[in-house]
Amino acid sequence: MMPEVWTPALMVSVAIGVFLMGFSKTAMPVAGVLSGPVLAAALTPTGAAGFAVPLLILGDVFGLALYRQHADWGLIRRLVPGVLVGFAFTALLFRFVETGLLSRILGVLIIISVGLEVRRLRSDGRTGEKQAEMTNRAAIAFYGTLAGMTSMAANAGGTAMSVYLVKMRVSMLAFMGTSVWFFFILNVIKVPLVLGLGLIHPESLIADLWFIPVLVLGAGIGALAFRGMKPLWFTRIALGLSAAAAIWLIVKG
């Protein structure tokens, strides 16, 4: 359920989460992961889930308007089997493992992945040679599974997806186009699930309408920020935010 009273502090908190959501769709996908804890703290995890999905899909539409033609569908196809395995594995683990512990384990896996990629970037800087994209099928399956698990267990699929795309050495535009299509499909799939759970209802949709201008503002500023961003800094920020999200998962669970 939505809050009965919207205090100024509550509205500011939700606005920050929605702004980050919009920004993530046009500038840096993993920034959206940071909005999840903000909204969950303000609206409770279940309230935030129903509130967020319609806004996420609207944000995806903005991202598609800018980057849809730049998607690398081959990368998405290679990721999908692992994502489906991640969904199924997480659903199974929910019966035996406490959600907080599972989130912490996923956070550790993400921080290790980020660390390995930072080490690779430093090696490239020393040698002056750029390593080729990741081709190991087992590694690709791992990142697909991690994306599926983090998306289902902690609404943090953007972390694993960002590390995966950095490892695939895609351009900034391909990074954004591939991400926005991937998460648009993922979020549409979530709709019947959250509807079935009764998390989307008239009150949540009315609240969504209030915050659409904030989402549009975040998406607009994100688009401007993306245009001025250099590829090296784009990669560094993507990895830095992934690390921050992973640390949050480890600390908060």
Does 173 or 92 have the greater pLDDT score?
A: 173
For residue 54, the one-letter residue type is: P
Radius of gyration of the chain (CA): 18
Helical residues (DSSP H) of 155-230, grouped into ranges = 157-167, 172-196, 202-227
Say whether pLDDT at 124 is over 70: no
| Residue 44, Ramachandran bin (φ over 0: left; ψ between -120 and 50: alpha; else beta) | left
Residues of the chain with pLDDT > 90: what percent?
Answer: 34
Q: Please state the rounded mean pLDDT for residues 243-252.
A: 85
Say whether pLDDT at 18 is over 60: yes
pLDDT in tens, 127-137: 555 555 666 78
Say whether pLDDT at 146 is over 70: yes
Q: Please state the rounded mean pLDDT for residues 50-67.
A: 94
Q: How far is CA 170 from CA 19, 158, 195, in A?
A: 26, 16, 35
Q: How many other C-beta atoms can be found within 10 angstroms of the C-beta atom of residue 244? A: 17
Give the C-alpha separation, 232 to 218, whole Å: 23
- What is the pLDDT at residue 129? 53
For the whole model, what pTM was predicted? 0.85
Mean pLDDT value across the chain: 86
